[in-house]
Structure 1
Amino acid sequence: MDFNNTQPIFIQIADYICTQALQGIFSPGCRIPSVRELAVQLEVNPNTVMRAYERLQNSGIIYNKRGIGYFIADNALTQIHQLKKQQFIDEILPSMFKEMQLLGIDITEIATQYTQFLSRQKDPAT
């Protein structure tokens, strides 16, 4: 995993776990790597992974079975979708709107691009 300088590492690790869940690598009820295992795998301090796990646990995405480990919650995918959607609305859209305003891009241009994007997703050959 390559870390960037724009976000704290523990948030990037939490996003990594969420992405793994959305991709089906970690399914609901599935045990995820222990704090130490993930720290070794990602070459980070275990305290950093612990902060990520605490964040995910507080969000209801993972839960801890004492002495056994951390597991993906049954409603994790719903929680992740809600959190990511809110993050997109709160963080990405305002930045995008500012750029649109600076560049004089109209919302209809964005709608056209989005429609084309969806068409390509349905038919990747085009």
Structure 2
Amino acid sequence: MRLIKVDHIINFKLLGHGDDPLDTKKCHIDLNALRAREDAAIRRAEIEAERIGAGVTTEAQSIFDALSKTLPVRWESTVIVVLNEVRVSSPYKPENVVGGAGAANERVKKVLELERKRMQHGRQ
């Protein structure tokens, strides 16, 4: 479709009528496919909502987001749970990491350190 200013039109000629794109006799709507798309969209929205911490600071959410890029994480109230075993409590620093196997615990601490350094550089 092109839009043309009326003052640029010198003349026009009607060549014929095309098919009506809104003809309901020729339309087919697959309700099952629409419901499946709706269900998938709702599931995606619910998953995204679970990734947002309730009652946490922007900094805490940034740390959660950074951890989620490389590790499975979830919120448990205001505590970040990583790998279903490592817990990170406010103020979300390496010394606030508890639980989990040694390697998992150290990995979470390392990611926290790197994210805090990145956040500090962003403020300067």
Q: Same fold (TM over 0.5)?
A: no
Structure with more contact order per residue of length (Cα contacts < 8 Å, sep ≥ 6): 1
Q: Which of the five TM-score ranges fits, normalised by the shorter chain?
A: under 0.3
Structure with the larger helix share = 1
TM-score by length of 1: 0.25
Indicate the structure (1 or 2) with the bigger Cα radius of gyration: 2
Structure with the larger strand share = 2
TM-score by length of 2: 0.25
